[in-house]
Amino acid sequence: MKEQVISFELNREKVEICADPALSLLRLLRSRFNLIGTKEGCGRGDCGVCTVLLDGRAVNSCLIPAGKVEGRKVLTIEGLTREGLKKGAKVHPVQQAFIDKGAIQCGFCTPGMIMSAYALLRDKPFPSPEEVREAISGNLCRCSGYKQIEEAILEAAKAITEQEGKW
Ligand code: FES
Ligand code: FES
- Ligand 1 mean position to 6 CA, how many Å? 22
Is the minimum distance from the CB of 143 to ligand 2 under 6 angstroms?
Answer: yes
Instruction: Say what the pLDDT of residue 163 is.
Output: 82
Instruction: Say what the pLDDT of residue 29 is.
Output: 98
Q: For residue 141, how many other CB atoms are within 10 A of its CB?
A: 22
* Nearest atom of ligand 2 to the alpha carbon of 107: 1
- Ligand 2 mean position to 40 CA, how many Å? 13
Q: For residue 42, how many other CB atoms are within 10 A of its CB?
A: 13
Residues within 6 Å of ligand 1 by CB: 40-43, 45-50, 60, 62
Strands 73-75 and 4-10: parallel
> Which residue is closest in CA terms to ligand 2's atom 2?
106
pTM across the whole model: 0.96
Instruction: Say what the pLDDT of residue 165 is.
Output: 63
- Ligand 1 mean position to 117 CA, how many Å? 16
Is the CB of residue 150 less than 8 Å from the CB of residue 130? no
Domains of the chain: 4-76 (3.10.20.30), 78-162 (1.10.150.120)
- Ligand 2 mean position to 10 CA, how many Å? 26
Helix or strand holding residue 59 (H, E): strand 57-60
Instruction: Say what the pLDDT of residue 58 is.
Output: 98
Q: How far apart, in whole angstroms, are the C-alpha atoms of residue 72 and residue 83?
A: 19
User: Ligand nearest 149 Cα, by number?
Assistant: 2
Instruction: Say what the pLDDT of residue 4 is.
Output: 97
Question: pLDDT tens per residue, the chain (167 residues)?
Answer: 799 999 999 999 999 999 999 999 999 999 999 999 999 999 999 999 999 999 999 999 999 999 999 999 999 999 999 999 999 999 999 999 999 999 999 999 999 999 999 999 999 999 999 999 999 999 999 997 799 999 999 999 999 998 876 66
Is the CB of residue 7 less than 8 Å from the CB of residue 27? no
